[in-house]
Structure 1
Amino acid sequence: MRGLLVLGLWLWGLGAVAAPRETLESKLQTGDVVLHTSRSRQSKAIQAATHSSLSHVGLVEVTPKGVFVVEAVQPVQRVPFAKWKARGVKGHIMVLRPENLDVATRQRVLDAAKKHLGKPYDWRFGWGDEAMYCSELVRKAYIEGAGVEYGKMERLGSLDVAGIQQQMRERYGTQVPLDLELVTPASLARDDRLMVIHSDFPEGC
Protein backbone atom coordinates (compact mmCIF):
# COMPACT_ATOMS: atom_id res chain seq x y z
CA MET A 1 0.00 0.00 0.00
CA ARG A 2 2.80 2.37 0.97
CA GLY A 3 4.58 1.54 -2.30
CA LEU A 4 1.50 2.48 -4.31
CA LEU A 5 1.24 5.78 -2.44
CA VAL A 6 4.90 6.59 -3.16
CA LEU A 7 4.43 5.67 -6.83
CA GLY A 8 1.33 7.86 -7.05
CA LEU A 9 3.14 10.84 -5.55
CA TRP A 10 6.09 10.32 -7.91
CA LEU A 11 3.80 10.23 -10.97
CA TRP A 12 1.95 13.32 -9.73
CA GLY A 13 5.29 15.10 -9.38
CA LEU A 14 6.23 14.22 -12.93
CA GLY A 15 2.93 15.63 -14.16
CA ALA A 16 3.47 18.84 -12.21
CA VAL A 17 6.94 19.28 -13.67
CA ALA A 18 5.76 18.55 -17.21
CA ALA A 19 2.80 20.97 -17.05
CA PRO A 20 3.30 23.66 -19.69
CA ARG A 21 3.97 27.17 -18.47
CA GLU A 22 1.61 29.92 -19.57
CA THR A 23 3.39 32.14 -22.08
CA LEU A 24 3.09 35.90 -22.40
CA GLU A 25 1.65 35.46 -25.88
CA SER A 26 -1.17 33.30 -24.50
CA LYS A 27 -2.17 36.08 -22.10
CA LEU A 28 -2.56 38.76 -24.76
CA GLN A 29 -5.89 40.11 -25.96
CA THR A 30 -6.87 42.04 -29.07
CA GLY A 31 -6.48 45.74 -28.33
CA ASP A 32 -3.66 45.40 -25.82
CA VAL A 33 -1.10 48.18 -26.09
CA VAL A 34 2.49 46.91 -26.31
CA LEU A 35 5.61 49.03 -25.84
CA HIS A 36 9.33 48.42 -26.13
CA THR A 37 12.64 50.21 -26.72
CA SER A 38 13.09 50.49 -30.46
CA ARG A 39 16.45 50.02 -32.15
CA SER A 40 15.56 52.67 -34.75
CA ARG A 41 17.77 55.69 -35.42
CA GLN A 42 15.37 58.08 -33.73
CA SER A 43 14.79 55.94 -30.63
CA LYS A 44 17.49 57.57 -28.50
CA ALA A 45 16.11 61.02 -29.30
CA ILE A 46 12.62 59.94 -28.22
CA GLN A 47 14.03 58.45 -25.02
CA ALA A 48 15.96 61.64 -24.25
CA ALA A 49 13.00 63.93 -24.96
CA THR A 50 10.56 61.91 -22.82
CA HIS A 51 12.96 60.64 -20.12
CA SER A 52 11.68 57.13 -20.81
CA SER A 53 13.07 53.98 -22.36
CA LEU A 54 9.67 53.35 -23.99
CA SER A 55 10.16 54.57 -27.55
CA HIS A 56 7.79 52.46 -29.68
CA VAL A 57 4.21 51.25 -29.33
CA GLY A 58 1.72 49.08 -31.21
CA LEU A 59 -1.64 47.31 -30.90
CA VAL A 60 -2.14 43.56 -30.43
CA GLU A 61 -4.38 41.45 -32.65
CA VAL A 62 -5.15 37.89 -31.52
CA THR A 63 -6.35 35.59 -34.32
CA PRO A 64 -6.77 31.82 -34.84
CA LYS A 65 -3.59 31.97 -36.93
CA GLY A 66 -1.51 33.63 -34.22
CA VAL A 67 -0.83 36.90 -32.43
CA PHE A 68 0.15 40.01 -34.37
CA VAL A 69 1.03 43.65 -33.73
CA VAL A 70 -0.23 46.55 -35.84
CA GLU A 71 2.37 49.31 -35.73
CA ALA A 72 3.31 52.55 -37.46
CA VAL A 73 6.78 52.14 -38.90
CA GLN A 74 7.76 52.60 -42.54
CA PRO A 75 5.09 51.79 -43.59
CA VAL A 76 2.25 51.03 -41.13
CA GLN A 77 2.24 47.24 -40.96
CA ARG A 78 1.06 44.09 -39.19
CA VAL A 79 3.77 41.73 -37.96
CA PRO A 80 3.88 38.55 -35.82
CA PHE A 81 4.09 39.37 -32.12
CA ALA A 82 7.24 37.28 -31.62
CA LYS A 83 9.02 39.22 -34.36
CA TRP A 84 7.85 42.54 -32.91
CA LYS A 85 9.02 41.61 -29.42
CA ALA A 86 12.42 40.45 -30.67
CA ARG A 87 13.04 43.82 -32.32
CA GLY A 88 13.01 45.57 -28.95
CA VAL A 89 16.22 46.11 -27.01
CA LYS A 90 16.90 43.02 -24.84
CA GLY A 91 13.43 41.76 -25.75
CA HIS A 92 11.92 43.84 -22.94
CA ILE A 93 8.24 44.62 -23.32
CA MET A 94 5.38 46.33 -21.50
CA VAL A 95 1.76 45.28 -22.05
CA LEU A 96 -1.10 47.64 -21.15
CA ARG A 97 -4.82 46.85 -21.23
CA PRO A 98 -7.77 49.26 -21.16
CA GLU A 99 -10.26 48.74 -18.38
CA ASN A 100 -13.85 47.63 -18.99
CA LEU A 101 -13.84 47.31 -22.77
CA ASP A 102 -15.74 44.39 -24.27
CA VAL A 103 -14.51 42.15 -27.07
CA ALA A 104 -16.53 43.94 -29.77
CA THR A 105 -15.16 47.34 -28.79
CA ARG A 106 -11.57 46.11 -28.73
CA GLN A 107 -12.08 44.65 -32.20
CA ARG A 108 -13.41 47.99 -33.47
CA VAL A 109 -10.25 49.62 -32.13
CA LEU A 110 -8.09 47.12 -33.99
CA ASP A 111 -10.12 47.58 -37.19
CA ALA A 112 -9.65 51.36 -36.91
CA ALA A 113 -5.88 50.89 -36.67
CA LYS A 114 -5.81 48.52 -39.67
CA LYS A 115 -7.43 51.17 -41.87
CA HIS A 116 -4.03 52.86 -41.90
CA LEU A 117 -2.02 49.83 -43.07
CA GLY A 118 0.38 50.76 -45.84
CA LYS A 119 0.54 54.45 -44.98
CA PRO A 120 4.00 56.02 -44.64
CA TYR A 121 5.59 56.78 -41.30
CA ASP A 122 5.20 60.42 -40.22
CA TRP A 123 8.74 61.64 -39.47
CA ARG A 124 7.42 65.12 -38.62
CA PHE A 125 4.83 63.94 -36.06
CA GLY A 126 1.90 65.75 -37.63
CA TRP A 127 -1.72 64.97 -36.79
CA GLY A 128 -3.11 64.42 -40.28
CA ASP A 129 -4.16 60.98 -41.50
CA GLU A 130 -1.99 60.86 -44.61
CA ALA A 131 0.94 59.49 -42.55
CA MET A 132 1.20 57.96 -39.07
CA TYR A 133 3.67 57.72 -36.21
CA CYS A 134 3.38 54.92 -33.67
CA SER A 135 1.65 56.54 -30.69
CA GLU A 136 -0.60 58.57 -32.99
CA LEU A 137 -1.89 55.32 -34.50
CA VAL A 138 -2.73 53.88 -31.08
CA ARG A 139 -4.42 57.03 -29.79
CA LYS A 140 -6.48 57.54 -32.95
CA ALA A 141 -7.54 53.88 -33.07
CA TYR A 142 -8.94 54.12 -29.55
CA ILE A 143 -10.66 57.42 -30.27
CA GLU A 144 -12.39 55.99 -33.34
CA GLY A 145 -13.07 52.49 -32.04
CA ALA A 146 -13.88 53.14 -28.39
CA GLY A 147 -14.37 56.89 -28.01
CA VAL A 148 -11.53 57.07 -25.48
CA GLU A 149 -8.48 59.35 -25.66
CA TYR A 150 -5.50 57.59 -24.12
CA GLY A 151 -2.28 59.46 -23.46
CA LYS A 152 -1.88 63.22 -23.28
CA MET A 153 -1.24 65.59 -26.15
CA GLU A 154 1.91 67.58 -25.36
CA ARG A 155 3.68 70.47 -27.02
CA LEU A 156 6.98 69.55 -28.63
CA GLY A 157 8.55 72.45 -26.72
CA SER A 158 7.40 70.98 -23.39
CA LEU A 159 9.56 67.90 -23.94
CA ASP A 160 13.27 67.83 -23.15
CA VAL A 161 14.55 68.69 -26.62
CA ALA A 162 17.57 70.70 -25.48
CA GLY A 163 19.94 67.78 -26.03
CA ILE A 164 18.57 66.76 -29.43
CA GLN A 165 18.81 70.03 -31.34
CA GLN A 166 20.69 68.42 -34.22
CA GLN A 167 17.97 65.82 -34.71
CA MET A 168 15.33 68.55 -34.59
CA ARG A 169 17.11 70.60 -37.27
CA GLU A 170 17.48 67.52 -39.48
CA ARG A 171 13.75 66.94 -39.22
CA TYR A 172 12.35 70.46 -39.34
CA GLY A 173 15.13 72.74 -40.56
CA THR A 174 15.85 75.99 -38.75
CA GLN A 175 12.21 76.57 -37.75
CA VAL A 176 11.48 73.87 -35.18
CA PRO A 177 7.69 73.89 -34.47
CA LEU A 178 7.83 73.96 -30.69
CA ASP A 179 4.03 74.49 -30.54
CA LEU A 180 3.43 71.21 -32.40
CA GLU A 181 1.17 68.92 -30.33
CA LEU A 182 1.91 65.22 -30.27
CA VAL A 183 1.41 62.09 -28.16
CA THR A 184 4.38 59.98 -27.06
CA PRO A 185 4.73 56.30 -26.10
CA ALA A 186 5.69 57.43 -22.59
CA SER A 187 2.48 59.45 -22.31
CA LEU A 188 0.41 56.39 -23.18
CA ALA A 189 2.30 54.36 -20.57
CA ARG A 190 1.52 56.95 -17.89
CA ASP A 191 -2.25 56.81 -18.46
CA ASP A 192 -3.79 55.29 -15.30
CA ARG A 193 -6.72 53.93 -17.31
CA LEU A 194 -4.37 51.44 -18.96
CA MET A 195 -3.57 48.52 -16.63
CA VAL A 196 -0.09 47.02 -16.66
CA ILE A 197 -0.56 43.35 -17.59
CA HIS A 198 3.14 42.60 -18.00
CA SER A 199 6.41 44.48 -17.81
CA ASP A 200 10.01 43.33 -17.58
CA PHE A 201 11.32 46.88 -17.66
CA PRO A 202 12.89 48.26 -14.48
CA GLU A 203 10.68 50.62 -12.50
CA GLY A 204 10.76 54.21 -13.63
CA CYS A 205 11.06 53.35 -17.32
Structure 2
Amino acid sequence: MKRLSALLSLALAGTAAAEAPYALREGDILFQGSAGQQADAIRGATNSPYTHCGVVFQENGSLMVLEAVQPVRVTTVAEFQKRSSPGTFHARRLKSPPDAAALEKAKAWGKRQLGLNYDARFQWGDDKLYCSELVWKAYHEAGVKLCEPRRFQDYKLDHPAVKPVIAQRYGSADKLPKEEPVVAPSDLADSPLLVEVPRVGKK
Protein backbone atom coordinates (compact mmCIF):
# COMPACT_ATOMS: atom_id res chain seq x y z
CA MET A 1 0.00 0.00 0.00
CA LYS A 2 2.84 2.37 0.89
CA ARG A 3 4.49 1.62 -2.44
CA LEU A 4 1.22 2.34 -4.29
CA SER A 5 0.81 5.63 -2.41
CA ALA A 6 4.36 6.62 -3.27
CA LEU A 7 3.79 5.86 -6.94
CA LEU A 8 0.56 7.86 -6.95
CA SER A 9 2.34 10.78 -5.29
CA LEU A 10 5.04 10.70 -7.95
CA ALA A 11 2.45 10.55 -10.71
CA LEU A 12 0.53 13.48 -9.28
CA ALA A 13 3.72 15.45 -8.85
CA GLY A 14 4.58 14.80 -12.50
CA THR A 15 1.13 15.92 -13.61
CA ALA A 16 1.37 19.09 -11.53
CA ALA A 17 4.75 19.85 -13.04
CA ALA A 18 3.44 19.29 -16.56
CA GLU A 19 0.54 21.67 -15.91
CA ALA A 20 2.61 24.37 -14.20
CA PRO A 21 2.05 27.74 -15.89
CA TYR A 22 4.59 29.09 -18.29
CA ALA A 23 6.98 31.81 -17.14
CA LEU A 24 5.84 34.05 -19.98
CA ARG A 25 7.43 37.27 -21.09
CA GLU A 26 6.96 39.75 -23.90
CA GLY A 27 7.60 38.30 -27.34
CA ASP A 28 6.66 34.71 -26.51
CA ILE A 29 4.50 32.92 -29.08
CA LEU A 30 1.48 30.98 -27.87
CA PHE A 31 0.03 28.00 -29.74
CA GLN A 32 -3.23 26.16 -29.35
CA GLY A 33 -5.49 23.62 -30.98
CA SER A 34 -9.16 24.41 -31.32
CA ALA A 35 -12.42 22.91 -32.56
CA GLY A 36 -14.36 23.59 -35.74
CA GLN A 37 -14.25 23.01 -39.48
CA GLN A 38 -11.33 25.36 -40.12
CA ALA A 39 -9.32 23.86 -37.25
CA ASP A 40 -9.96 20.36 -38.61
CA ALA A 41 -8.78 21.50 -42.03
CA ILE A 42 -5.59 23.04 -40.62
CA ARG A 43 -4.84 19.86 -38.67
CA GLY A 44 -5.44 17.78 -41.79
CA ALA A 45 -3.32 20.01 -44.03
CA THR A 46 -0.39 20.30 -41.62
CA ASN A 47 -0.56 17.09 -39.57
CA SER A 48 -0.10 19.23 -36.48
CA PRO A 49 -2.22 19.78 -33.34
CA TYR A 50 -1.70 23.55 -33.61
CA THR A 51 -4.46 25.47 -35.36
CA HIS A 52 -3.99 28.98 -33.95
CA CYS A 53 -1.26 31.18 -32.49
CA GLY A 54 -0.64 34.64 -31.08
CA VAL A 55 2.20 36.71 -29.68
CA VAL A 56 2.56 37.98 -26.11
CA PHE A 57 3.14 41.65 -25.39
CA GLN A 58 2.92 43.89 -22.35
CA GLU A 59 0.16 46.44 -21.99
CA ASN A 60 -0.23 48.56 -18.85
CA GLY A 61 1.79 46.10 -16.79
CA SER A 62 -0.14 43.02 -17.95
CA LEU A 63 0.81 40.36 -20.47
CA MET A 64 -1.70 40.19 -23.32
CA VAL A 65 -1.95 38.22 -26.56
CA LEU A 66 -2.09 39.83 -29.99
CA GLU A 67 -3.99 37.49 -32.30
CA ALA A 68 -5.68 37.50 -35.68
CA VAL A 69 -9.23 36.33 -35.25
CA GLN A 70 -12.17 38.43 -36.42
CA PRO A 71 -10.90 41.07 -36.19
CA VAL A 72 -7.25 41.31 -35.15
CA ARG A 73 -7.40 41.99 -31.42
CA VAL A 74 -5.78 41.55 -28.03
CA THR A 75 -6.95 39.08 -25.41
CA THR A 76 -5.75 37.89 -22.04
CA VAL A 77 -3.40 34.93 -21.73
CA ALA A 78 -5.98 33.22 -19.52
CA GLU A 79 -8.69 33.54 -22.16
CA PHE A 80 -6.37 32.31 -24.90
CA GLN A 81 -5.48 29.26 -22.83
CA LYS A 82 -9.13 28.64 -21.93
CA ARG A 83 -10.01 28.35 -25.63
CA SER A 84 -7.30 25.75 -26.21
CA SER A 85 -8.20 22.09 -26.62
CA PRO A 86 -6.74 19.90 -23.84
CA GLY A 87 -3.01 19.37 -24.19
CA THR A 88 -2.53 21.88 -27.04
CA PHE A 89 -1.61 25.09 -25.21
CA HIS A 90 2.11 25.66 -25.66
CA ALA A 91 4.47 28.61 -25.46
CA ARG A 92 7.74 29.08 -27.33
CA ARG A 93 10.27 31.89 -27.52
CA LEU A 94 13.32 32.89 -29.48
CA LYS A 95 16.61 31.38 -28.35
CA SER A 96 18.11 34.84 -28.90
CA PRO A 97 15.40 37.46 -28.31
CA PRO A 98 15.53 40.70 -30.32
CA ASP A 99 16.75 43.82 -28.56
CA ALA A 100 14.33 46.25 -26.94
CA ALA A 101 14.23 48.61 -29.92
CA ALA A 102 13.38 45.81 -32.35
CA LEU A 103 10.70 44.49 -30.01
CA GLU A 104 9.15 47.94 -29.72
CA LYS A 105 9.09 48.21 -33.51
CA ALA A 106 7.25 44.89 -33.74
CA LYS A 107 4.77 45.98 -31.05
CA ALA A 108 4.09 49.26 -32.82
CA TRP A 109 3.43 47.41 -36.07
CA GLY A 110 1.15 44.94 -34.29
CA LYS A 111 -0.92 47.68 -32.72
CA ARG A 112 -1.47 49.23 -36.13
CA GLN A 113 -3.10 45.99 -37.26
CA LEU A 114 -5.78 46.05 -34.55
CA GLY A 115 -9.25 45.95 -36.08
CA LEU A 116 -8.10 44.45 -39.39
CA ASN A 117 -10.33 41.72 -40.76
CA TYR A 118 -9.34 38.09 -40.49
CA ASP A 119 -8.15 36.60 -43.79
CA ALA A 120 -10.14 33.40 -44.23
CA ARG A 121 -8.52 32.81 -47.63
CA PHE A 122 -4.99 32.83 -46.15
CA GLN A 123 -3.55 35.31 -48.65
CA TRP A 124 -0.21 37.06 -48.11
CA GLY A 125 -1.44 40.64 -48.53
CA ASP A 126 -1.51 43.20 -45.72
CA ASP A 127 -5.15 44.30 -45.97
CA LYS A 128 -6.30 41.23 -44.00
CA LEU A 129 -4.33 38.89 -41.75
CA TYR A 130 -4.58 35.34 -40.43
CA CYS A 131 -3.03 34.24 -37.16
CA SER A 132 0.36 32.83 -38.13
CA GLU A 133 0.80 35.51 -40.80
CA LEU A 134 0.34 38.16 -38.11
CA VAL A 135 2.96 36.56 -35.84
CA TRP A 136 5.41 36.00 -38.71
CA LYS A 137 5.11 39.59 -39.94
CA ALA A 138 5.36 41.05 -36.43
CA TYR A 139 8.66 39.27 -35.93
CA HIS A 140 9.77 40.24 -39.42
CA GLU A 141 9.34 43.86 -38.33
CA ALA A 142 11.79 43.05 -35.55
CA GLY A 143 14.30 41.74 -38.09
CA VAL A 144 13.60 38.07 -37.39
CA LYS A 145 12.57 35.56 -40.05
CA LEU A 146 10.98 32.77 -38.05
CA CYS A 147 10.75 30.42 -41.03
CA GLU A 148 10.60 30.40 -44.81
CA PRO A 149 7.02 30.84 -46.04
CA ARG A 150 5.73 27.75 -47.79
CA ARG A 151 3.17 27.44 -50.61
CA PHE A 152 -0.37 26.16 -50.54
CA GLN A 153 0.72 23.20 -52.64
CA ASP A 154 3.17 22.14 -49.90
CA TYR A 155 0.30 21.15 -47.59
CA LYS A 156 -2.01 18.14 -47.70
CA LEU A 157 -4.72 19.68 -49.84
CA ASP A 158 -6.29 16.31 -50.61
CA HIS A 159 -7.11 15.63 -46.96
CA PRO A 160 -10.87 15.00 -46.48
CA ALA A 161 -11.13 17.85 -43.96
CA VAL A 162 -9.38 20.30 -46.29
CA LYS A 163 -11.35 19.81 -49.50
CA PRO A 164 -14.69 21.29 -48.31
CA VAL A 165 -12.98 24.40 -46.92
CA ILE A 166 -11.20 24.99 -50.23
CA ALA A 167 -14.51 24.59 -52.05
CA GLN A 168 -16.27 27.03 -49.72
CA ARG A 169 -13.61 29.73 -49.88
CA TYR A 170 -12.28 29.40 -53.42
CA GLY A 171 -15.11 27.73 -55.34
CA SER A 172 -12.93 24.79 -56.35
CA ALA A 173 -9.42 23.41 -55.93
CA ASP A 174 -8.60 24.68 -59.44
CA LYS A 175 -9.05 28.26 -58.23
CA LEU A 176 -6.72 27.86 -55.25
CA PRO A 177 -3.52 29.89 -55.77
CA LYS A 178 -1.17 27.00 -55.12
CA GLU A 179 1.93 29.21 -55.33
CA GLU A 180 0.64 31.65 -52.70
CA PRO A 181 3.09 32.12 -49.78
CA VAL A 182 1.69 30.65 -46.58
CA VAL A 183 2.82 30.13 -43.00
CA ALA A 184 0.85 27.78 -40.76
CA PRO A 185 0.99 27.70 -36.95
CA SER A 186 2.92 24.44 -37.24
CA ASP A 187 5.57 26.12 -39.39
CA LEU A 188 6.21 28.67 -36.66
CA ALA A 189 6.15 26.03 -33.92
CA ASP A 190 8.79 24.04 -35.80
CA SER A 191 11.09 27.02 -36.25
CA PRO A 192 14.66 26.14 -35.20
CA LEU A 193 14.90 29.65 -33.77
CA LEU A 194 12.39 28.82 -31.02
CA VAL A 195 12.60 26.88 -27.78
CA GLU A 196 9.95 25.86 -25.27
CA VAL A 197 9.22 28.52 -22.66
CA PRO A 198 10.21 27.38 -19.14
CA ARG A 199 7.50 26.57 -16.65
CA VAL A 200 7.14 28.54 -13.43
CA GLY A 201 9.57 27.19 -10.85
CA LYS A 202 11.55 25.29 -13.46
CA LYS A 203 14.97 26.13 -14.82
For residues 87 and 66 of structure 2, the distance between their equivalents in structure 1, rounded to whole angstroms, comes to 18
RMSD between aligned alpha carbons? 1.9
For residues 104 and 91 of structure 2, the distance between their equivalents in structure 1, rounded to whole angstroms, comes to 17
Q: What TM-score does the superposition give when structure 1 sets the normalisation length?
A: 0.79
Q: Secondary structure at the match of 1:54?
A: coil
**For 1:77, which of 60, 73, 77 is the aligned residue?**
73
**For 2:170, which of 164, 172, 176 is the aligned residue?**
172
| CA-to-aligned-CA distance 1:87-140 (integer Å, 9 cap, x gap) | 011263111111322334323222222210000000111111110000000111
Within-5 A mapping of 1:109-128? 109-128=106-125
1:151 Cα offset (Å): 2.3
For residues 54 and 169 of structure 1, the distance between their equivalents in structure 2, rounded to whole angstroms, comes to 22
**For 1:162, which of 147, 155, 158 is the aligned residue?**
158
Give the % identical residues: 34
For residues 50 and 112 of structure 1, the distance between their equivalents in structure 2, rounded to whole angstroms, comes to 28
For residues 65 and 197 of structure 1, the distance between their equivalents in structure 2, rounded to whole angstroms, comes to 20
Q: Structure 1 pair 39/103, CA: closer, same or farther in 2 (3 Å)?
A: farther
1:44 Cα offset (Å): 0.7
For residues 46 and 134 of structure 2, the distance between their equivalents in structure 1, rounded to whole angstroms, comes to 18
Aligned residues: 176
Question: Which structure has more RCO (C-alpha within 8 Å, separation ≥ 6)?
Answer: 2
User: What is the match of residue 131 of structure 2?
Assistant: 134
Determine if contact 2:102/2:143 at 8 Å carries over to the other structure. no
For residues 74 and 91 of structure 1, the distance between their equivalents in structure 2, rounded to whole angstroms, comes to 24
- The one-letter amino acid of 2:195's match is M
Q: What are structure 2's unaligned runs of at least 5 residues?
A: 1-16
Determine if contact 1:168/1:176 at 8 Å carries over to the other structure. yes
- 1:103 matched to 2:100: yes
Q: Which aligned runs of 4 or more in structure 1 are off by greater than 4 angstroms? A: none
1:165 Cα offset (Å): 1.4
Q: What are structure 1's unaligned runs of at least 5 residues?
A: 1-20, 200-205
